[in-house]
Amino acid sequence: MLPHVFGLLVPGLCPRQVGSEAVGLEWHPVATVQKRRGKWRVQIRRNGHALSKTFYRKMDADEWAREAEHSIDKEIDPSTKRISRKDTFASLIDLHIEDLHAVGKPLRRSKRHVLEHLREEIGETPLANLTRERLILYGRQRAKEGAGPATLAVDISFIGTVLTHAAAVHGIAINTESVKLARIALRRLGLVGAGMERDRRPTDAELQKLFAYFDGNDRLTIPMTRVVKFAIATAMRIDEIFRIEWDTLDAKNRTILVPDRKDPRKKDGNNQRVPLLAATGYDAWALLEEQRELRLNPPACFPYNAKSAGSAFQRACKELKIIDLHFHDLRHEATSRLFEAGLTIEQVPLVTGHKDWKMLKRYTQLRPEGLHAKLSGQPK
């Protein structure tokens, strides 16, 4: 088989001899393309770089050879993956997810939801078109649809995560600076920012309505009354409630292990042993004993689907016309009750898992002027 340079057959020369010298220019080895066993193999030796790659189609082989040589001439690492016209943002999302699964880090529910939304909205956008302007346009559109500053901030953050992952792990040449500039622009437009802190707490009347609704629903297979009471007793998030297992229960010390608690600084391995108290109006230990009496015998204490429980809670609120109450508000309620029961800011995180006392300050309702009264023994 005769070698050729970008489709030109050069008789009488072996692949290592083919170069720009053959056309009367200064000697610089160039790409050779040869067909071997039904495939096209490219070899490049140029300016100290030695590369080879095999393709099924000759046109792909020629295109790769041209791009590699062009990169070498511009002093760009030719092993860096270049952006193809066919590459889209969705392809990078897939790559990111595959890599996380490969190292045993599957997506958490919230991140999976955001990435699915991004795939629907901008997944078909070619990477070359994912510019600062395009991201700002996306932000404006999301804001018009009702997305708040905190929601949009999460979207932009995950876009940056996916692009940075592709550039750092796979060497894909993509401009991550566009995300930073878009974030600055959207922040100055007031479309990106911190979320409003929720202070919604269920009233006793609302809780009693929910309990009566759950207990009177024969079709409901999840013991939602017990789940809601347990959430207020422990301050656990809904997914944490459905992850705890019987074999981590310490009956002597009345504690249980909560695996992989949420921590923005550390995604995995945040296991915490928490006490099962009766400080919030509901007895966590007694509720688990009630659950044990069902004799379901699975590993999980609450062997039900967290998403189904969340849907059941929202459905009940809707039918009972309980406005703007989310299951996660029960964690806020639990934390508030722990402080109201007299636990200190050092003790509450042993139950709630908060890593930063600043996040707990809003629950304590501490004021600077209150310290004088506290130290003097006067009523606050």
Residue 196 lies in a domain: no
Q: Which of 45, 73, 101 is the last residue of a domain?
A: 73
The contacts found for 242-246 with CB under 8 angstroms, 24 or more apart, are: 242/300, 242/302, 242/303, 242/304, 242/305, 242/306, 242/309, 243/300, 244/300, 244/301, 244/302, 245/299, 245/300, 245/301, 246/292, 246/299, 246/300, 246/301
Tokens of 153: 């901030």
pLDDT, residue 266, reads 59
Within a domain: residue 197? no
What is the pLDDT, as a whole number, of residue 191? 92
| pLDDT (tens digit per residue) in 245-261 | 999 999 999 999 999 88
The answer on 359 and 234 residing in a single domain is yes
Average model confidence (pLDDT) for the chain?
83
Confidence of residue 204 (pLDDT cuts 50, 70, 90): very high
Is position 80 within any domain?
A: no
Residue 28 shares a structural domain with residue 126: no
d(CA 325, CA 228): 13
Residues 284 and 310 in one domain: yes
Is the distance from CB of 43 to CB of 68 less than 8 angstroms? no
What integer is the mean pLDDT of 56-84?
A: 69
Report the first-to-last Cα separation within the chain, whole angstroms. 94
Maximum CA extent, the chain: 103
Q: Which domain holds residue 183?
A: 89-188
CATH number at residue 255: 1.10.443.10
Question: CA–CA separation, 249 vs 261, rounded Å?
Answer: 16
**Tell me, what's the pLDDT at 316?**
97
Model pLDDT, residue 37: 77
How far apart are alpha carbons 6 and 42 in whole angstroms?
10
pLDDT of 1:
43
pLDDT in tens, 12-45: 434 433 443 333 333 344 678 888 877 888 888 8
Q: Would 35 be classed as within a structural domain?
A: yes
Q: Is the pTM of this model over 0.75?
A: no
More confident position, 8 or 165: 165
- Specify whether 214 is located in the same domain as 178: no
* CA atoms within a 13 Å half-sphere pointing along the CA-CB vector of 268: 7
